[in-house]
């Protein structure tokens, strides 16, 4: 429910409300300022309300450009997470929504860029019309002022100029076009599909942010939009003198004889983005320094379906469950860093990742490791630990597809804690649900479950973990094989003691069974998987929780990996 979400995500809600509030304030304040301020009376005479639209969107563009780099300073976020380690975990966890906020700010930049560009196209068209007008109207008179030296208000000084000419020959025009192209390329190449399938395209295109910020800083330098100067306002105020501009006679004697004078609005984008750029430079220097620290690959395992497992050691490396690292292999690409969820438990004396062949970089890495062990660089670990699992007597863990990876770390860690009778572990029973199309790419996870199953049986704790595999994509050959071996002790698909179920889980039945087995427990439900599944699990948690405080309660937690 909305109430629950606000309780758990109050920090995210507060940040969103503040961000939205500041955007609305900046837009409204500057829109009214440029739409009403007397300093821009003459500018408005030529441009109308498009001036206010362009300037208000420019302020919001500066504000959001200032914010867009901060969520991707991952070392800065780790530092913040560390400094607020005494804060509640829900607060630290919300720092993991950094990429969601980054995307939100980026989409806002795209929207504001559209508003800003359209407003300026109207402005250029009006500047052009006023320059060519010969009717003696106020815009026409104002546009001829460039003939008297530096008093100009209209940046277009020739009748032959076109809007396209201004867009590609002036500093604001050209930088505006370049910035917009860079933004379009960055936004379109960062869709889920491209990130998953063509990560290199996303990675290299995103470095156009350098072009974006360089263009942004230069964009306003020429000062093409002008307003009346303070001194000129004191001498010839537009409210008294504007009507005389169109009715000028040669031998003028009254106070409004003098022409108004105009000055540029100073460039100010650099003031907004300077601090985040400096922070980001420090972030990149820190990444380079951390990457130089030696990583020893202690074991390489090639699993079926081209899945590579790397076990590594690095001095001072300290991980927690549910965290991830960035990996770079300089012999393949010195610039590319790819994120991988850690599959080892903190109790182990190494850290490990499992790499699936999914794109050019991973393919080349797997090929390289089959020939030799190249140099590997590691940055991390990042992300908040998923320690909530240990806080519930009963835990229902749901992993869908690739979302099963973090549970490797969690399940191993729970088992180690259970063996060592760790006081922080409240868990007495784990239900694990694994949904996938085919087990091929996850044979390694299968092996892990089998070894856990064996260890638990040996120590007489076989009932600590109950797991069920749901195969959502299957064909007739699998079905026939299953029919043949239906009465065997282990499963034909996975070789595990627990049978594979074909099709999707009936969540109502699963929850009802858990509720019946643990009528007085608090059950933590953890998902790493798609949004649609999150919705149905949330609904089941709600339906199967008893209103009686002494009876079963289900709490839903979605992990962001």
Token output for 311: 């076990």
pLDDT in tens, 521-548: 889 898 888 888 988 998 999 899 888 8
What three-state secondary structure class fits 314?
strand
Residue 490 CA to residue 469 CA, distance in Å, equals 13
- Domain ranges in the chain are 23-286, 293-382, 385-402+409-475+492-558
- Please report the pLDDT score of residue 90 as a whole number: 64
pLDDT(561) > 70: no
The alpha carbon of 402 is separated from its chain's Cα centroid by a whole number of angstroms, namely 19
Q: Could you tell me the pLDDT band of residue 474, with boundaries at 50, 70 and 90? A: low
Angle (CA) 92 336 357, round 5°: 90
Question: Is 147's pLDDT higher than 90?
Answer: no
At 486, the pLDDT band (50, 70, 90 cuts) reads: very low
CB of 536 closer than 8 Å to CB of 511 = no
Cα distance between residue 444 and residue 3, in whole Å = 40
Give the pLDDT confidence score for residue 283 in this predicted structure. 92
pLDDT at 87 (0 to 100)? 63
Distance of CA 177 to the CA centre of its chain: 25
Q: Note the Cα 178 to chain centre separation in Å.
A: 23
With a cut of 60, say whether residue 379 has pLDDT above it: yes
Least reliable range by pLDDT among 68-72, 322-326, 416-420: 416-420
Beta carbons of 37 and 244 less than 8 angstroms apart: no
Q: Residue 136: left (phi > 0), alpha (psi -120 to 50), or beta?
A: left
Considering the four listed CATH numbers 3.40.190.10, 3.40.50.80, 3.40.50.970, 3.40.50.1860, the one that applies to the domain covering 385-402+409-475+492-558 is 3.40.50.80
pLDDT at 499: 61
SS3 19: helix
pLDDT of 452 reads 87
Q: Identify the burial level of 558 via C-beta atoms within 10 angstroms of its C-beta, where 0-12 means exposed, 13-18 middle and 19 or more buried.
A: middle
> Secondary structure of 140-165 in the HEC alphabet?
HHHHCHHHHCCCCCCCCCCCCCCHHH
- The pLDDT assigned to 6 comes to 62
% pLDDT > 90, the chain: 45
Pick from 440, 302, 340, 320: which is nearest to 385 by CA? Answer: 320
> Is 43 a residue whose pLDDT tops 90?
yes
Range from 13-22, 133-142, 496-505, 538-547 carrying the lowest mean pLDDT? 496-505
Q: How far apart are CA 561 and CA 558, in angstroms?
A: 10
Residue 278 predicted with pLDDT over 70? yes
Q: How far apart are the first and last CA of the chain?
A: 23
Q: Using the predicted structure, report yes or no on whether residue 481 has a pLDDT greater than 60.
A: no
Residue 271 has pLDDT above 90, yes or no: yes
Q: How many CA atoms lie within 13 A of 364 on its CB side?
A: 12
Nearby residues of 113 by Cβ (< 8 Å), 6 or more positions away = 61, 179, 180, 183
pLDDT at residue 7 tops 80: no
Residue 90: count other Cβ atoms within 10 Å of its Cβ. Answer: 15
Domain covering 293-382 in this structure, CATH number = 2.40.30.10
Write down the H helix ranges in 199-255: 199-205, 209-219, 230-235, 238-246
pLDDT at 1 over 80: no
Closest C-alpha among 358, 361, 397, 359 to residue 376: 361
User: Given the structure tokens 């996938």, which residue do they identify?
Assistant: 436
Determine how many CB atoms are found less than 10 A away from the CB of residue 61: 23
Looking only at the bridges linking them, the beta strands covering 295-303 and 307-314 are antiparallel
pLDDT value for 249: 66
Tell me the backbone φ, ψ of residue 300, rounded to 5 degrees: -120, 125
Do 342 and 409 meet the contact criterion of CB atoms below 8 Å apart?
yes
For 132, half-sphere exposure in the C-beta direction (CA atoms, 13 angstrom radius) is 11
| Residue 439 pLDDT | 67
The CA distance from 515 to 283, in Å, is: 48
Q: What is the pLDDT of residue 88?
A: 61
Q: Does residue 65 register a pLDDT over 50? A: yes
Q: What is the mean pLDDT of the chain?
A: 86
pLDDT band of 185, cuts 50, 70, 90: very high
Residues facing residue 355 across a β-bridge: 308
């Amino acid at each position: 429910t909305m109430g629950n979400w606000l309780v758990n995500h109050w920090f995210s809600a507060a940040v969103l409300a503040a961000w939205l509030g500041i955007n609305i304030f900046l837009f409204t304040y500057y829109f009214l300022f440029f739409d009403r301020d007397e300093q821009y009376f003459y500018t408005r005479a030529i441009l109308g309300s498009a001036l206010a639209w362009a300037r208000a969107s420019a302020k919001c563009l500066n504000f959001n450009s200032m914010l867009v780099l901060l969520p991707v300073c991952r070392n800065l976020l780790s530092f913040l997470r560390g400094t607020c380690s005494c804060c509640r975990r829900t607060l630290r966890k919300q720092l993991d929504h950094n990429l969601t906020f980054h995307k939100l700010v980026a989409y806002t930049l795209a929207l504001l860029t559209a508003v800003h560009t359209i407003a300026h196209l109207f402005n250029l068209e009006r500047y052009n019309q006023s320059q060519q007008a010969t009717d003696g109207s106020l815009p026409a008179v104002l546009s001829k002022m460039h003939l008297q030296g530096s008093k100009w208000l209209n940046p277009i000084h020739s009748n032959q100029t076109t809007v396209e000419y201004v867009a590609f020959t002036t500093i604001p025009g050209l930088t505006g076009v370049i910035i917009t192209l860079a933004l379009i390329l960055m936004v379109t190449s960062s869709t889920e599909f491209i990130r998953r399938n063509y990560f290199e395209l996303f990675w290299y295109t995103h470095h156009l942010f350098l072009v974006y910020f360089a263009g942004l800083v230069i964009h306003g330098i020429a000062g093409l939009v002008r307003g009346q100067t303070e001194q000129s306002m004191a001498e010839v105020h537009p409210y008294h003198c504007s009507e005389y501009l169109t009715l000028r006679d040669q031998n003028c004697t009254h106070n409004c004889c003098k022409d108004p004078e105009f000055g540029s609005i100073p460039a100010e984008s650099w003031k907004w983005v300077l601090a985040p750029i400096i922070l980001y430079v420090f972030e990149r220097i820190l990444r380079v320094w951390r990457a130089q620290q030696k990583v020893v690959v202690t074991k390489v395992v090639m699993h079926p379906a081209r899945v590579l497992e790397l076990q590594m050691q690095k001095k001072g490396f300290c991980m927690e469950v549910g965290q991830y690292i960035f990996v770079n292999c300089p012999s393949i690409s010195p610039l590319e860093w790819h994120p991988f969820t850690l599959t080892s438990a903190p109790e182990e004396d190494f850290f490990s990742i499992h790499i699936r062949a999914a794109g050019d970089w991973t393919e080349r890495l797997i090929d390289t490791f089959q020939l030799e062990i190249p140099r590997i660089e590691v940055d991390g670990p990042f992300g908040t630990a998923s320690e909530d699992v240990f806080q519930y007597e009963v835990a229902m863990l749901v992993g869908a597809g690739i979302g099963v990876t973090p549970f490797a770390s969690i399940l191993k860690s729970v088992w180690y804690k259970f063996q060592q009778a760790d006081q922080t572990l409240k868990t007495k029973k784990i239900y694990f649900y694994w949904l996938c199309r085919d087990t091929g790419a996850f044979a390694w996870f299968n092996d892990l479950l089998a070894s856990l199953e064996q260890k638990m049986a040996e120590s007489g704790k076989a009932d600590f973990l109950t797991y069920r595999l749901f195969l959502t994509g299957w064909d007739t050959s699998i079905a026939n094989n299953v029919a043949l071996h239906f009465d065997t002790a282990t499963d034909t698909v996975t070789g595990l003691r627990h049978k594979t179920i074909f099709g999707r889980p009936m969540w109502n039945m699963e929850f009802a069974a858990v509720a019946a087995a643990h009528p007085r427990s608090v059950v933590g439900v953890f998902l790493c998987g798609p949004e649609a599944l999150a919705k149905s699990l949330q609904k089941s948690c709600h339906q199967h929780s008893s209103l009686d405080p002494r009876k079963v309660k289900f709490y839903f937690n979605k992990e962001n990996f």
